[in-house]
Chain A
Amino acid sequence: MKTRWMVCALVALGVLLAGTAQAQESLVVYSSVDEENAKNLLDAFTKATGVKVRFTFLSSGPAVARIEAEKNNPQADVWFGAPSENHVALKEKGLSQVYVSPNAKELAAKFKDPEGYWTSFYMNPLGFASNLTTLKQKNVEPPTSWADLLKPEFRAQVQTPSPQTSGTGYNMVAALVTIMGEDKAFDYLKKVHPSIQTYTQSGTAPSKAAAIGQAGVAIQFTPAFLQLMAEGYPLKVTFPKEGVGFEAPAISILKGAPRAELAKKLIDWFITIPGQNALTDAKTYFFPVHPKATLMAGLPAFDQIPTINYDAIWAGKEKKRLVDRWINEVLRTAK
């Protein structure tokens, strides 16, 4: 009896010790790009440069919380993915460091921090996805403008991420403020409230609800729509003609990164043409930011989409105030 317990305890101890063993030296990445895409993209990077990479998937909220909690002893070198607004937040918290890649001069100004704290490496427009089966039952065409969503047929049919919780939701609010002006935008958000079935907590939840027919229309960034269409769901993507925002996911090197030199290579490579073409080769449904990169077949040309001039730095600074206003004015009208 006694020996059996001893054996159990020793095994447990062994596993604990094994867990603490150090792994080999390679670039450590917190990726807010989903697991499969991150794996394909980072594998392509390793193949091209020989730099080994180990990554952990963390959506943007947990990633920032974790980087902040670990700031006295950073575990990772870079944060890979998540819209540039979040990298603005990281910069303001003093958790990232400057690196201006020599290749960054090819990129438009909106795709890089003026001081060099972050560099965008792909982008996605915001769009509508309609479930064609559901909308046929309701006898209504997919919406092609923000105003269309006010139609009574869309009552409790639309899902959109909450700006309080999701970068996507906030991107929508900030873009509407840019298009309409702040007060008009909040008027619109109040008016569209009856059409909203639920404000989801996650930025990618609406697409799933639309895919399975729980909602008629989903509002979010397009890659998950295109992925779901490829899986066989009856969705159609449209863009509101008044204009939409876009996200430009970026890379930041973390302050105190133990392997900053390797991290710089990561940024350098992803904004070269081969690095940008990796987005297409890996079937990510992401839009390249380099003007000369190849666009994936099936993606609408980016200049055909009514994207607005969205200022991520302004949006990052105004976030708390606009979200509080949204909670107090829009959400409260629900009561």
Chain B
Amino acid sequence: MSPQSLARWGSRTRHDLRLLRNEPLLGVGVAAIFALLLLFIAYPLVRVFLVSFFPDGVPTFRLYREFLGSWFIQQAFLNSVVMGILTALGGCLVGFLFAFTLTRTDIPCKSFLTVAAILPVISPPFVSALSIILLFGNNGLITHQILGFQEFAIYGMRGLLLAQVFTFFPVAYLTLRGVLESLGGTLEDAAMNLGATRWRAFTRVTLPLCLPGIASALLVLFIESIADFGNPLILGGSGFPVLSVQVYLQVTGMFDLAGGAALAVILLVPSVLAFLAQRYWVARKQYVTVTGKPTRAVLKVVSPAMQWVLFGTCMAVALFVLLFYATILVGAFSRAWGVDHSITLRNFRYVFGVGAQAITDTLIIAVTSSPLAGLLGMAIAFLVMRRRFPGRRTLEFVSILNFAVPGTVIGIGYILAFNQKPLLLTGTATILIANFLFRYIPVGIQSGMAGLRQIDPAIEEAATNLGASTQTTFRRITLPLLVPAFFSGLVFSFVRAMTAISAAIFLVSADWNLMTVQILSQTEAGRLGAAAAFSVLLILIVLVAIGLIRLVLGQLFDYRYQATFG
């Protein structure tokens, strides 16, 4: 840093601190959020990093040297990055397709398509991969029985990419739908009134205005895909190693905690780079579309012919989604999934017998963690975008950090950090709640920030000028305007609290168990029907919860945005 820029930075910080002094509550809020993020995100990670640098008690780079020199790890690293990029691009493409079609065209079956676009976000671990194998494997319904392939190699890059795009496109859809909705159609109409063709209006108006949303979605998908290990664990196999799986294996297969931690640090590098690139790319552009002025669009940016092309493509994807869930449903009600499909209820009897406790535990934890995650996410997005205080960027960075780390590492970090007094949390519900809360706020933060980039600060400034404090402005102005983003943050964290397993497996206890762990246990033991029945139950709970969240948000913020919930 040059002396001038240092001086500039110094005076800016002093200025920011002065602003904070005028609003003491804001300062307290910022400090509290910082403290929480440091305790529940930074501190466990620091514990893990320390383990990787002190495997034998003395500081060393031995583990890093070993791994970076291994062809197997190099291959895994490359595979991870390639898979992350392809998943991000593919997922955003499908997500945008759905978001655009549903907000800009007037086609039938909209509510069916909406459900189909959100549904895959609820993919119960292990059972999803089985369902994909039953559809696309050697003996698969689509590959073998419909298309007639003798052998279809589902294990490896191809099968994995299919599964990853399928699992992650709803995240892109949720973000982009929020963006396209707040964008409205007026600007596109204006462009066309001024003589632009439809294509020109789309490429020069719609697409550029969606860029912050697309960039956010790309980032989230890339990071999630390279940190995820559920699908690669089963579909990658040993032939297509990826780093996230290697982290898991190093810890759980070789019993090498330090090695796993070192691999996790290596895995963090591409995620952090992606984060910085996205910052650099988006931060320099200005996109305000919600100005408080009336907007009414007439939906004509899509030509009637194109409308049917979009409809057809979405329908094809939606049918695939339907087939995927139908497969699980069939499994839950059959005697022997994939072989003997005579209907039986014994799987559900079994589930309610063995797993009743896990079901209530999961519900309690998800219901507690997701509203907290949603609110905290919006609060952080608001603070980062709209308020000036020292450490603003750091706050955003730390809050997204947990998302980029494989769950295995977070799980172990949590045990290392919270197994001793005064921070004795192991074996409690609190540790599970904290894990889900802090791991899944980034989606809320990212969609909140994408939404805020489009809302004219003038609206909030008007409130402040009329005497509203920061928290009043946030509650009465910003939050209602952000309801679509809030909705996606809530849904996402709820869904993940119900379905995530990689970190949770280290945190469940005799008193607090989760349905996903039950699914794992049942698949391990060979009771596939019971695992499918657990999954069906889990999907039902999430669907009911999404409905309830929609209802509650509609009641709390009775705004015109009510109409825009998918």
Instruction: Tell me the smallest distance from the CB of A275 to a CB of chain B, in Å.
Output: 21
A213 within 8 A of B: yes
Residues on the B chain within 8 Å of A211, using CB: 336, 338-339, 526, 528
- Please determine whether B371 and A232 come into contact, CB atoms closer than 8 angstroms: no
Q: How many A-B residue pairs have CB under 8 A?
A: 206
A75, B412: Cα distance in complex, Å: 14
- Please determine whether A212 and B337 come into contact, CB atoms closer than 8 angstroms: yes
Residues on the B chain within 8 Å of A56, using CB: 508-510, 513
Other-chain contact of B138, A4, A29, A36, A213 (Cβ < 8 Å): A213
A112, B95: Cα distance in complex, Å: 56
Instruction: Count B interface residues, CB 8 Å.
Output: 72
B558 within 8 A of A: no
Q: Of all chain A residues, which has the CB nearest B249?
A: A165
Instruction: Tell me the smallest distance from the CB of B54 to a CB of chain A, in Å.
Output: 15
A219 within 8 A of B: no
Residues on the A chain within 8 Å of B420, using CB: 72-73
- Please determine whether A207 and B72 come into contact, CB atoms closer than 8 angstroms: no
A329, B336: Cα distance in complex, Å: 39
- Please determine whether A198 and B239 come into contact, CB atoms closer than 8 angstroms: yes
Most buried by A among B130, B339, B424, B556: B339
Residues on the A chain within 8 Å of B364, using CB: 15
- Please determine whether A34 and B524 come into contact, CB atoms closer than 8 angstroms: yes
- Please determine whether B139 and A54 come into contact, CB atoms closer than 8 angstroms: no
- Please determine whether A65 and B510 come into contact, CB atoms closer than 8 angstroms: no
Instruction: Tell me the smallest distance from the CB of B410 to a CB of chain A, in Å.
Output: 12
- Please determine whether A75 and B426 come into contact, CB atoms closer than 8 angstroms: yes
Residues on the B chain within 8 Å of A61, using CB: 248-249, 251-253, 255
Other-chain contact of A75, B138, B248, B427, B527 (Cβ < 8 Å): B427
Q: Of all chain A residues, which has the CB nearest B251?
A: A65
Most buried by B among A70, A207, A320: A70
Instruction: Count A interface residues, CB 8 Å.
Output: 77
Residues on the A chain within 8 Å of B522, using CB: 34-36
A198, B237: Cα distance in complex, Å: 6
Instruction: Tell me the smallest distance from the CB of A85 to a CB of chain B, in Å.
Output: 11
A86, B255: Cα distance in complex, Å: 9
- Please determine whether B512 and A19 come into contact, CB atoms closer than 8 angstroms: yes
Partner-contacting stretch, out of B19-27, B107-115, B428-436: B428-436
A165, B427: Cα distance in complex, Å: 27
B506 within 8 A of A: yes
Q: Mark out the residues of chain A between 156 and 212 whose CB falls within 8 Å of any chain B CB in the assembled complex.
A: 156, 162, 164-166, 197-202, 204-205, 207-209, 211-212
4 smallest CB-CB distances across A and B, nearest first, come from: A61-B252, A19-B429, A54-B510, A198-B237
19 cross-chain CB contacts under 8 A: A1-B475, A15-B429, A16-B433, A28-B510, A36-B521, A37-B525, A57-B517, A59-B524, A61-B249, A64-B255, A65-B251, A73-B424, A165-B249, A198-B239, A213-B139, A224-B525, A227-B525, A231-B526, A232-B339
